């Protein structure tokens, strides 16, 4: 009779690393596609107030943000401590609002121009003087859909 011998060491086959670069590039591509880059660095301090009745903006591409607040510590030496308006990634004046709105409209299909919303992110400690000036300029520029950004009040009933 023939003798069958057992292999002494049960070796496992080596894991193939040939597809590893493909997997890494797929993951890299996935994260590049789904990552949203911030449009602008906040140059003003914005601590939005609390509110009890909130609605979420559905399409972020139809929203342009106007930030109003005091300059951060980094910019106080240059711009002072009075409340300022930030459009995009730079400080601006009230007179710059129409051009800012037109630049945003260029990026949006013409059929959706009526759905563009201007969202005011205003620091809770800012007086209403500059906010009223901004709202007046928005109205003069034909931007009538305006919203105020706020945080959900933790004490509000659901």
Class of domain 44-152: alpha beta
Please compute the mean of the pLDDT values over residues 130-158 and round it to a whole number.
Answer: 89
pLDDT at residue 15 in the model: 78
Instruction: With beta carbons less than 8 A apart as the criterion, state whether 121 and 68 touch.
Output: yes
Q: Where are the domains of the chain?
A: 44-152
Q: Residue 72: which of 41, 100, 95, 50 has the closest Cα?
A: 41
pLDDT at residue 52 in the model: 85
Q: Which position has the higher pLDDT, 9 or 151?
A: 151
pTM greater than 0.75: no
């Amino acid at each position: 009779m023939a003798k069958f011998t057992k292999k002494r060491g049960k070796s496992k086959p080596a894991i193939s690393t040939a597809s590893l670069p493909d997997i890494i590039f797929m993951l890299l591509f996935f994260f590049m596609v789904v990552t949203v880059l911030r449009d602008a660095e906040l140059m003003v301090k914005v601590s939005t107030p609390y509110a009890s009745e909130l609605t979420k903006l559905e399409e972020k591409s139809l929203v342009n943000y106007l930030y109003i607040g005091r300059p951060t510590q980094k910019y106080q030496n240059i711009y002072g401590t009075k409340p300022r308006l930030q459009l995009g990634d730079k400080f601006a004046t009230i007179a710059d609002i129409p051009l800012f709105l037109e630049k945003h409209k260029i990026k949006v299909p013409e059929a959706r121009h009526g759905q563009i919303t201007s969202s005011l992110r205003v620091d809770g400690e800012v007086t209403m003087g500059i906010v009223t000036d901004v709202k007046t300029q928005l109205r003069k520029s034909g931007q009538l859909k305006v919203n105020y950004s706020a945080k959900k009040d933790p004490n509000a009933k659901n």
